[in-house]
Amino acid sequence: MRNLLLILLSAISISTTAQSLSSSDSTLFDFWVGNWELTWTNASGEIAHGTNHIVRILDNRVIQENFLSGDGKLKGMSLSVYNSQNKTWHQAWADNTGSYFDFVGKAEGDKRIFMTKMKEVKGKKIIQRMVFYNIKKDTLTWDWEMSNDGGDSWQLQWRINYKRKS
């Protein structure tokens, strides 16, 4: 009887874990939803500011990002969506400089990452990625990184500190 009870409890635990894992995949980037004040150090070493307004749209299936630098020079938007058929996150980013990026998202421990596919340019294997980490209720850190060696090493290009607006 005791063994049967242990088996049943294990089955319930496995079922609950499977349900929370599958639902957590589709909510992997929910921490990002909100209105954020941003700060970063610009190329001349000064603290720069911006905002990012992140909302769920289209029946809460899509996350829309609306980025604006404090000086108004950089405006960008992304759409992020979880594809439940192949269980992957995708993001498309476009901005007023003509930049466009296509990313695939994933979790690595407590980090959330959107990464481009590798492109070979002049013998270098280029990958770019965004890494969200130090994620708390009202703050997080976002890094833009680039690899020239197919992801063996990463170089920081831009770090933004997020603080949730009250």
Query: What percentage of residues in the chain have a pLDDT greater than 90?
Result: 81
Residue 33: exposed, middle, or buried by beta-carbon count in 10 A (0-12, 13-18, 19+)? Answer: middle
**Tally of CB atoms within 10 A around 165:** 11
Q: pTM, whole model, 2 decimals?
A: 0.83
pLDDT tens string 93-137: 999 999 999 999 999 999 999 999 999 999 999 999 999 999 999
Residue 23, pLDDT > 50, answer: no
Residue 15, pLDDT > 80, answer: no
Per the DSSP assignment, residues forming a β-bridge with 39 are 49, 161
- Dist CA 34 CA 52 (whole Å): 8
Per the DSSP assignment, residues forming a β-bridge with 102 are 92
Residue 141, pLDDT > 90, answer: yes
Average pLDDT, the chain: 88
Domain covering 28-164 in this structure, CATH number:
2.40.128.20
CA quadruple 94, 96, 97, 99: dihedral, nearest 10: 0
Per the DSSP assignment, residues forming a β-bridge with 127 are 147
pLDDT tens string 142-166: 999 999 999 999 999 999 999 999 7
Q: Where are the domains of the chain?
A: 28-164
